[in-house]
Structure 1
Amino acid sequence: MQCSPPGTYAGPLACLMQTIRAEGPRALYKGATPPLIGWTISDSMLMGSLHQYRLIIARAETGDWSGWRDDGKGKSKEGESKSLQLSLPGHFLAGLLAGQTVCFVACPTEHLKARLQMQTTGPKLYTGPIDCARQVVAAKGWLGLYHGFTGTLLFRSWMGVMFLSYEVILRGFSKYAPDMQQGTANFLAGGLASNFFWTGAFAFDSVKNRYMTDSLTKPRYTTWRSCARAIYAEGGPKAFYRGFVPGILRAFPTNASALFVWEGVMRLMGAEKIVEKND
């Protein structure tokens, strides 16, 4: 819906039904291979770098460079309790930097995914992700895989908003619902934070995807700015939010589950680390 000409689909349901009627249910999974591999790496980079940025910023804020955790529950080598509570601006900065860090893997992944998804009716341009990558490289060189990198950078920078809102919501739960289970709080906060993220970031995602799927041989857009201007000309600000409903419906369960699992694993690993240090 983001990349098709205006009027192609009356809405999300029409897009779903037209896709199934024209190409069958398997078409709903076009472009699944690049994210299956790429997002495994990029999400690991996102959460791993987020944790490290949180540590660095918390240590810089407190002036305590010996703590190894960022939630105030860690212990130094001497066994003394270290309070490394990260400020809200620190959470925003850590999320922003983590989002930008992951762009180096996310950009080519999303580029290939978007091109494969936009193969609708008629002859297929690409037989698969490898063929798609080969054609992109043949037309634009290896850097062609990073076509749309600036848009990806702007889009992923909204991770600062996501992880800031995630922390704000968690603190709200801690204050107003102190009996809530930690896993439940992580799940709900992750889902709600993703809604804040996508509400602001979706317009940038639209520009990024439209720019990425531009023709290799006869491109319409010279820069991501020209792409943004073209989208605006199609219908003003609303044009940037075509496809928003399925995007926001997907956001809550996927991000809520991801942060629930990540936080749970981090707590488990943290508990094991404390036992290991005490031993």
Structure 2
Amino acid sequence: MAATEATPTTAIPSRLITTAPKKSAAMEVIEDLTYGSTAGIVGKYIEYPFDTVKVRLQSQPDHLPPRYTGPLDCFRQSIKADGVLGLYRGISAPLFGAAAETSSLFLFERMGRAAVYSSGYCPRDRALPLSALWFTGAFAGAFTSVVLTPIELVKCKVQVPASVDGSVPKVPSVTSVIRDVYKHEGIRGFWHGQMGTFLRESGGCAAWFGSKETTTKMFRLLNDRSATSQFEKDALAKEALPLWQQAVSGASAGMSYNFLFFPADTIKSRMQTSPVGGTKRNRTFMQESRALWNQLGLRGFYRGCGITVLRSAPSSAFIFMVFDGLKRYLPL
């Protein structure tokens, strides 16, 4: 898509700034799926050990004293028990999930922009304002949550094995988890925790895309002010941001995504790590929320938040840098 000059009331999504000819809709979809999958896999390898620790902190039983005193203690106990590779246990499903999630996010975000243009909110010959880009992020997250919930359910059950009878649980495989969930709860069981995923993804992705584009616009305005001529301003509008600015924009997106809706993710993780096949019925989103509040109060909803926000900064930075770089330099 051809670049246009940004104004104080509009924002050009940074991944759309390119000098290449306009592609067909089909090619745009293929690029979103291909490059989004690649970026998601890169990001998942970076963040997965931290994600394992986060889930273990979030899913500690509410009827027992906490097993871990904090993220560092969880890292120490996990490595002592299973070694470093234990932090990557169950990564096969999340790698598939990361590819599906990231590609779906970019695809649905593009569909969201098309819907905004079709509504007449913004003329098609103008870039969408930042308010619309926050909306398209929420649009993308809402639809992606339906794809993501079954994948995350399997991931959580592999990361935190649960025992029905109180015995020491065996480490399950991805296939055994899928088999057990289907046997005891049917297809519907794979969407246990959907409300938590929906809230986290719709709100979090509004912040993910919105923060990234807001920070990108800020950098472009700062760079534009340093230009000495209109020719230099036009050239800057067509060029990619310096790598450090791209990294800061992507990092701000990841930190916003994870911090703002972390309580919903905590409740989802607790729901998805509950034992399968016992006599105890699965709790609803509200029931799990009340149980956690009664046990630990407000701080219980943010258990593991620090390490999650910390690992999201480099992961999200790499996701956007890989995706934007592939779109710019390796167009299909």
Give the TM-score category using the shorter length. 0.7 to 0.9
Q: CA RMSD in A?
A: 2.2
- Shift in Å at residue 58 of structure 1? 3.6
Counterpart of 1:3 in structure 2 is 59
In structure 1, C-alpha distance between the alignment counterparts of 2:117 and 2:321, rounded to whole Å? 23
Amino acid at match of 1:226: Q
In structure 1, C-alpha distance between the alignment counterparts of 2:68 and 2:273, rounded to whole Å? 18
Are residue 53 (structure 1) and residue 112 (structure 2) matched? yes
Which runs of structure 2 are paired with 1:115-130 in the superposition (5 Å)?
Answer: 115-119=157-161, 123-125=168-170, 127-130=172-175
Please point out which of 258, 274, 279 is paired with 1:214.
274
In structure 2, C-alpha distance between the alignment counterparts of 1:190 and 1:28, rounded to whole Å? 25
Please point out which of 25, 43, 46 is paired with 2:102.
43
Counterpart of 2:250 in structure 1 is 190
Which runs of structure 2 are paired with 1:1-279 in the superposition (5 Å)?
Answer: 1-5=57-61, 6-59=65-118, 60-64=120-124, 83-119=125-161, 123-125=168-170, 127-158=172-203, 159-178=205-224, 182-184=241-243, 185-216=245-276, 217-219=278-280, 221-268=282-329
Q: Is the 8 A contact 1:58 1:84 kept in 2?
A: no
User: Which stretch shifts more, 22-31 or 178-187?
Assistant: 178-187
Q: Is the 8 A contact 1:41 1:105 kept in 2?
A: yes
Greater relative contact order, per chain length (Cα 8 Å cut-off, separation 6+): 2
Unaligned 5+ segments in structure 2 are 1-56, 227-235
User: CA 1:219 to 1:176, structure 2 compared with 1: closer, same or farther past 3 Å?
Assistant: farther
User: CA 1:142 to 1:104, structure 2 compared with 1: closer, same or farther past 3 Å?
Assistant: same
In structure 1, C-alpha distance between the alignment counterparts of 2:71 and 2:180, rounded to whole Å? 30
Aligned residues: 253
Amino acid at match of 2:314: P
In structure 1, C-alpha distance between the alignment counterparts of 2:108 and 2:312, rounded to whole Å? 21
- Shift in Å at residue 41 of structure 1? 1.7
Q: Is the 8 A contact 2:162 2:275 kept in 1?
A: no
TM-score, scaled to structure 2: 0.71
- Shift in Å at residue 104 of structure 1? 2.2
Amino acid at match of 2:129: S
Identity %: 27
TM-score, scaled to structure 1: 0.83
